[in-house]
Structure 1
Amino acid sequence: MDLNSDLGESYGAWRMGDDAAMLAVVTSANVACGFHAGDPAGILKTLRDAAKLGVSVGAHVGYPDMVGFGRRNMDPSSAELVADVIYQIGALQGLAAAAGTTVRYVKPHGALYNTIAHDRRQADDVITAILAVDPSLVLMGLAGTPILQWAQERGLATAAEAFADRAYHADGTLVSRREKGAVLHDPEAVAQRMLRLVETGTLESIDGKTVRLQADSICVHGDSPGAVAMAQRVRQRLVEAGVPLAAFALARSH
């Protein structure tokens, strides 16, 4: 199983998460590209640290929304969205090359991630952008949503993602952050929940029903309180159960 986290999101004096600590836990790092968060110097440091630890790197592309941290819905034209995604991947590729590593996948961020899970037009724009830059890049998307099939139909490899600290509805969609109980905070409960997912392919929904999910990667958020402790417990629980941990993108490249 792969463990991923959203990193490189600090901006100048504003610190977001603990990248160094998270990089010691995860196998893949979704690194901000400057549109929703991240300044070049901070992004470069995160990439260098990832390279030293052998952590796989992905482009965490988003809407141009620094104030809203990329979590506000936007409706860019296709020309804008394609160019924005190409721009972000290209920027991270340049920084990654300087850091001695390579961008291997793309994981859209926030509102863009949630929109393209079901919105065919914006999904196609993101897929078009990735194909234009490097068709060997893997697209990471929400497990059980149409974006994964749409990408595969156009020749992109995909990785299905589950969220360790987010509640699910019975249909496999995420509970909105605006709703009570959307974000889980108990490291032990979250770790056991992720072990169940790996072993059985199922989770319990917010209303107690069984949700079946096929996941290639588990996201442990890096910007929430107690994120590092939660990520460490998830990793520890999986290792104790004998679950091999490896970057999905690196495994596919060999």
Structure 2
Amino acid sequence: MTLVSVYCDFQNVPSLQKFANLLLSFAHTQGHLLDKKVYYNSQCQNQSQAKEPLSSLGFDCRDVPCPLKNSADYKLIADCIKDIQSNRSPDIIILVSGDGDFCSLVYILQKLGKKVIIFAQLGNVKQKLKELVQDDFYFVDQLPKLVQVKTNPQTTAVQAQLIYEEAIDCLRNAIQTALNQGQRTSLSKIGKLMRDNPHFPKCSKFPLVCKSDGTTFSKLSKFVNAAIAEGIVYAKKTGKEQELFLSERNRLLV
């Protein structure tokens, strides 16, 4: 049985909170999950606020309230080395950080025959750390696609994918474009305009839209219904069909 442990540097990857559930799903696809630890500094308000939601997912949140630079990193490294010397040493270490301070740790783990998988935040990663793991390096934003690929490879092999937030942006822009051009904003028209967005996959079918909590939408109508439920857009019947409009607060985002 392959044993897996997760170590997260929250200060380096604050978007972890958004993708935490998917990170756990990914870890479970790698083997039996032993530990899932998050290191944070309670003296920083943005970090202390993340403790409760992460704890509710079963993360072992370890507070390192020290003003010294890299103190949380050193605690993570010390705990990881201690864990791999225990009777239940993990075979796979998932490190959530792009900090170059962990290069030596990764090198040691690899020398001991451990597989290291790294998740970093876009724009916050040291190239040397990335090069150490090569094909086992990812950005946390890729988790929706990675989890779907791991759990349903046959579906994703034939269906393009799009992260929910990107799909929402495409939807907003399509509605605003139609209104600016004096066109109807029916579902079919908006679907065609969404496909013109450079961020929208070039595919024959509507792409699989993935939320950070693992929810997916395989049809345009279901995706739009979710956007309506969240108050991002609303539908109004004009003539024989319904048309889509941006809510007041979302008109400001286009």
TM-score between the two structures when normalised by the length of structure 1: 0.34
| CA radius of gyration, larger in | 2
Q: Which has more strand, going by share of residues?
A: 2
TM-score between the two structures when normalised by the length of structure 2: 0.34
Higher relative contact order (CA 8 A, sep 6+): 1
Q: Which has more helix, going by share of residues?
A: 2
